[in-house]
Amino acid sequence: MVEVQKRHPDVVRTLIFEDGNIDMPVEETEETREAASFVRLVGETLRNNIRTGDLVHAAEVFVDTLNGKGYWSQMPGSAREMVLQNIYTALGDVARPVTTPEQVSRFDRPVLFLTGERSPKRYAFFYGEMRKCRSFPQTIVIPNASHAIHIDNPEGFLSVVLDFLKVH
């Protein structure tokens, strides 16, 4: 959705980031090096696990890395099936586009930033970087949720999203 906002802002009414990925140039600090290392490690591990041909194992390691050990085994079967059907999309087929601070400053639609209480910290970090470019609302942290916010706490997720949409 970020790419649509950047290229065709006239078709976007709101932006809702549920642990949304956005890559921006940032000052190199220990925190940013750790975040970049985490993303690289997750991607490399996923690629290596997919190469073995055991997609269930690849998905389990990927999901557990983002949500906590044992998360995969507790997911409903339909959610596991969805991950398996989309596992290759987690790799991306090209490098993710970089969004510049100047592009973020032009996001003139209502924005909702959501993250889970136990989500990887990179999402909240980049939301903070986006707030340096433009006045956006604070990030809403959904309690009792990891990266799979809408699965872990569907009531909390839906409540926040529906309240946002009622206003916007």
Q: pLDDT digits over 43-80, tens only? A: 899 999 999 999 999 999 999 998 889 999 999 999 99
Whether the CA torsion 159, 75, 71, 55 is positive or negative: it is negative
* Same domain assignment for residues 165 and 103: yes
Whether 121 shows a pLDDT value over 80: the answer reads yes
Whether 168 shows a pLDDT value over 90: the answer reads yes
Domain count for the chain: 2
126: helix, coil or strand? Answer: helix
* Same domain assignment for residues 35 and 92: yes
Digit-coded pLDDT (tens) for 131-162? 999 999 999 999 999 998 999 999 999 999 99
Prediction pTM value: 0.80
Domain extent, residue 120, equals 1-25+98-168
The CATH code of the domain that includes 135 is 3.40.50.1820
**Residue that terminates a domain, selected from 53, 68, 96:** 96
Q: Looking at residues 123-131, what average pLDDT do you find?
A: 92
Whether 93 shows a pLDDT value over 90: the answer reads no
pLDDT score at 164: 98
Which residue, among 149, 113, 103, has the nearest Cα to 4 in the 3D structure?
103
Q: What percent of the chain has pLDDT over 90?
A: 64
Residue 138: left (phi > 0), alpha (psi -120 to 50), or beta?
Answer: beta
Whether 81 shows a pLDDT value over 70: the answer reads yes
pLDDT score at 118: 93
* Same domain assignment for residues 161 and 117: yes
